[in-house]
Amino acid sequence: MQLDPASGWCQGVRICPSPNFNARPEGEISLLVIHNISLPPAQFLTGKVQEFFQNRLDVTEHPYFAGIADLRVSAHFLIERDGTVTQFVSCLERAWHAGVSCFEGRETCNDFSVGIELEGTDDLPFTDAQYQALTDLTRQLQSAFTGITAQRICGHSDIAPGRKTDPGPAFDWARYRAALAKATQEEEEQQ
């Protein structure tokens, strides 16, 4: 996968454009927000997340869908259980992933963040393929948007405490941060 900073789109990933975005206000892209999602809850590789982000979800297919029928949301990326990466919105645009949120005193995190959804739940372990894809994608984002430092990577629960719990206790932050540090070091040694 290769992120084109000029367009904000990744080459080598599945592209599934969502209508749920708008223009970012002038300013930097300086935050990465990690989420989790599965539709129906705890069911994987259904294709329903893609349909949801494209406003094409058949709400009659599952009782849970009725409760989210009127939501218009998206993320920049989804990483499925098998490591497949799908992009819905250019990183240069404002995806609707964070909602009411605040990071270091700054509200409306959608304005300056990139959102990555991991297919999963708060309490089921994520896969090796997901951690690998997340690490690779994060390094692409950090190269393109230097404001996304290791200290500016957080969970949805960090910017919307009390309202959101994802990526949840099953997400292994230590593993992810160690893999990211190793990938960063290897890149620096190659330069």
Residue at token pair 């494209």: 54
Beta strands in 8-83, from DSSP E residues, in sequence order: 9-11, 14-15, 21-23, 31-37, 77-79
Distance from C-alpha of 128 to C-alpha of 164, rounded to nearest angstrom: 24
Instruction: Determine phi and psi for 31, rounding to 5 degrees.
Output: -150, 140
- Residue 117 among the catalytic residues: yes
4: number of Cβ within 10 Å: 14
Q: β-strands 106-107, 14-15: how paired? A: unpaired
Cis status of the peptide bond prior to 19, with omega within 30 of 0:
no
**Pick the catalytic residue: 117, 119, 186, 188?**
117
Catalytic residue IDs? 117
